[in-house]
Amino acid sequence: MKKLLLIVGISLAIILIILLILFLFTPVPKIITGMAAKRVCSCHFIAGRSAESIMANENNYSFVKYAKVKVNQAEKTVTASLLGRGKITAVYREGLGCAIATKDYPIAKIQATKYRPVTNPNITSDIFSDNIFSEKPVYDKQALKKIIDGAFTGKKQRTRAVIVVKDGQVIGEKYGEGIDENSLLLGWSMTKSVTSALAGVMVQKGMIDINRSVDIPEWQGDERAKITWNNLLQMSSGLKWSENYFWISDVTKMLTIKGDMYQHSIQSKAEVAPDKKFLYSSGTTNIVAGLQRRQFEDINDYWQFPYKELFHKIGMNSAVMEPDASGTFVGSSYCFATARDWAKFGLLYLNDGLWQGERILPEGWAKYSATPATESEGIYGSFFWLNAGGQYPDAPREAYGAQGFQGQYVYIVPSQNLVIVRLGLSGIGDFDFNKFLSNIVHAVR
């Protein structure tokens, strides 16, 4: 027994020493507090939720839930710390959302940002009343209701919103406790699909050519000079990157302690030649966001672009896309919208980029987005996830869509004129999207 107790004691001591080293000599505290501060700042000042609710819901995971946050209403800042260490402040800017203050981008510099609001002359109260498709939807109402209700049962699923749109009409809609049709919800990596759409808008306007190299000065003279827009959009650039949200990685450092995420991401070295390897990377998306910014001389023109040329044109009027401290949109992660407006984004792709007769995206852009990227084994297209590789074995292989952390989904099933939105706070494996998606498809056939 004494030997066992000694082993246990030594093991606990080793664990404590490791935790102490991580806490004192690594970015771990700031990564944790950065996540806490940013999310409370955005969900409070953009979505109008209390800090207590955000900590109990959005931030109720991993070590983030142990962070202590303080909201300063007058300064519109949120500061987080962990056991008195790793203090990080996120700053709210009207119309732009929140950004984390860093050494290069202190609070005063972020607060000094001058933003020229964009007007929206095309506000539509209910875009779904303007049918994109002529046929009235036919579906099994009882079966669909049962499927949707089932998405909200159990503690682990943590579903917040579900919308099913068939033939341009909402045929199913439900919200979780404290959430309704006016609640702005973070899309996380669904924002990557928005960034892809913005690239499509730029192609439609003749601003970029996705088959050309991206011409980043820091990449000239090495293998990265060959990287094209298409390589980046398909996550096939060959750049080295670590996408691990539960440890010290490229993505956690980028999102929590870097003021200029584009500059951080372009430092990535070439691992293989372009078009030789698929690697999911939020850094790659933020490179695209930075390249999109370079198409504008005036920073306000850049900030207004998603609203004037995408969101407001499709009635996605609630959307808020957040830049980092340097002013570049965090195209990988930070777009808020209501569930209904996320559904409108799916409808735009279902109709191949046409909206009420106006071409927003180039003809064939939806097909391009749903075409498997090189070496992706059919799971990824152009910043869209695909089911061509059977990720959801019981759902149609044609299904594709946007996906985000904690179970955010906007999926499109073209043959059924169907868009499915599910938003939540699920842990890995806690929500069976394969079953959910396939059951809905069967109910509407």
Judge whether residue 27 has pLDDT over 60.
yes
207, 211, 381: which is closest to 309 by C-alpha?
A: 207
Collapsing DSSP to helix, strand or coil, 354 comes out as strand
- The amino acid that residue 164 corresponds to is V
Least confident of 233-237, 244-248, 362-366: 244-248
Beta strand segments in 22-156, E = 68-72, 77-82, 85-93, 97-100
Predicted local distance difference test score (pLDDT) of residue 119: 77
Cβ distance 233 to 288 under 8 Å? yes
Predicted local distance difference test score (pLDDT) of residue 265: 98
Report residue 114's pLDDT band, with 50, 70 and 90 as the boundaries: confident
Predicted local distance difference test score (pLDDT) of residue 131: 47
Q: What's the rounded mean pLDDT across residues 90-114?
A: 96
Predicted local distance difference test score (pLDDT) of residue 1: 67
Q: What's the rounded mean pLDDT across residues 256-266?
A: 97
pLDDT in tens, 282-335: 999 999 999 999 999 999 999 999 999 999 999 999 999 999 999 999 999 999
Report residue 125's pLDDT band, with 50, 70 and 90 as the boundaries: very low
Domains parsed from the chain with CATH numbers = 2-111 (no CATH), 141-444 (3.40.710.10)
Give the chain's mean pLDDT: 92
Predicted local distance difference test score (pLDDT) of residue 382: 98
Q: What's the rounded mean pLDDT across residues 49-73?
A: 94
Q: What's the rounded mean pLDDT across residues 205-229?
A: 96
Q: Which residue has better confidence, 318 or 138?
A: 318
42 Cβ contact list (under 8 Å, min separation 6): 90, 92, 97, 98, 186, 322, 334, 336
Cβ distance 391 to 385 under 8 Å? yes
Report residue 247's pLDDT band, with 50, 70 and 90 as the boundaries: confident
Share of the chain above pLDDT 90, in %: 83
Judge whether residue 78 has pLDDT over 70.
yes
Beta strand segments in 39-184, E = 68-72, 77-82, 85-93, 97-100, 159-166, 169-175
pLDDT in tens, 162-209: 999 999 999 999 999 999 999 999 999 999 999 999 999 999 999 999
Judge whether residue 369 has pLDDT over 70.
yes
Cα–Cα distance, 152 to 429 (Å, whole number): 15
